[in-house]
Structure 1
């Protein structure tokens, strides 16, 4: 039986070219065709700097962070030989500290065994502190309360809650700066406000202090001559 063999011819494969090597067909003049420009872009009016900048007296207020704990006293010394502590109240009267059955020390709750007023101090007896050496080791420690455990009259706040408030001139709406510090004085406290200038504003409600809004992070005040420190 005869057999046959199919003959086939392998065609040459086209040479691969990168897109950048593709030839541009010449124009009739032998040069690459020119590309005609598109229609001109529409003219957009430029905004003046005043249109995009905030007014100079505008102030952006961050949400005020509500405090979970309030500092109410600092251990200043030992009292006697049985482990009692001398506590200096911070921003409150000594009687105020005696109202709480739970205090917080280094973030941990402690339950005083006794707590009594002694002149301008509070004498405090804590569990586990039984002698003078243990009491002296507590010197400098800060005692706190939970904010939710304290009931203050409406419109009354702890000093620590006021720090960071934005202070605004109630008459003009201008921002005066941030309440940086509460300075204790016998007659009344002073609020140190720092902005473009520094002010010492008496903490006297309805005379200097118009309103205090922790949620809005704002205190509105009446300004008078002599409150800026550079005026004195």
Structure 2
């Protein structure tokens, strides 16, 4: 079964082996619902979850002191695909959107979705145009008309002049 990256261990916390995890998802509370995570290829049972601002602090089985926690620094945190939560309608995982064909209102192909930037007030869709140029489109209903996951197509309305930049 495929593993999905959901974060990265960025540091050790305290002396009892806790690790600080930078979470790649917008729902850090999911760690409370998980029984285990994978650090690299190794599975660890989650013993405790707490928060420090926007990061997650985890106590994992088998990591019982600061040295063991520090040894995990900069390692990816993953879960099994089967542990992903079911999303509400019209909500998608970024990994499922990447590569989807993008077309304009007149059904003319523009290119494909190459990335989703999530560090702004709203998500931005990076669209790689047929000629290799990339544009950013706010992921809002005003510009995203429809997403058809079954046929892997996204229909968009581009703001006037965007292609001229």
Q: Is TM-score (shorter-chain normalized) higher than 0.5?
A: yes
Corresponding residue for residue 106 of structure 2: 172
SS in 2 for 1:112: strand
Q: What is the Cα deviation at residue 188 of structure 1?
A: 0.6
Q: In the alignment, is residue 189 of structure 1 matched against residue 129 of structure 2?
A: no
Q: What is the Cα deviation at residue 226 of structure 1?
A: 4.5
Q: In the alignment, is residue 103 of structure 1 matched against residue 37 of structure 2?
A: yes
SS in 2 for 1:134: helix
Corresponding residue for residue 14 of structure 1: none
For 1:43-122, list aligned pairs within 5 A.
68-122=2-56
Corresponding residue for residue 199 of structure 1: 135
Unaligned runs of 5+ in 1: 1-66
RMSD of Structure 2 on Structure 1 (CA)? 2.0
CA shift digits 1:166-197 (9 cap, x unpaired): 1111x111222121111123311111111223
> Is the deviation greater in 120-129 or in 159-168?
159-168
Number of aligned residues: 162
Contact 1:208 1:223 in 2 (8 A): yes
User: Structure 2: how far apart are the matches of 1:211 and 1:102?
Assistant: 36
Taking structure 1 as reference, are residues 147 and 154 closer, same or farther at Cα in structure 2, changes over 3 Å only? Answer: farther
User: Structure 2: how far apart are the matches of 1:218 and 1:107?
Assistant: 34
Poorly superposed stretches of 4+, deviation over 4 Å: none
Contact 1:95 1:117 in 2 (8 A): no
Q: What is the Cα deviation at residue 102 of structure 1?
A: 2.6
Unaligned runs of 5+ in 2: none
> Is the deviation greater in 207-216 or in 85-94?
207-216
Return the index of the structure with the highest Cα Rg. Answer: 1
Return the match for 1:209 from 132, 135, 144: 144
Larger proportion of strand: 2
Contact 1:167 1:175 in 2 (8 A): yes
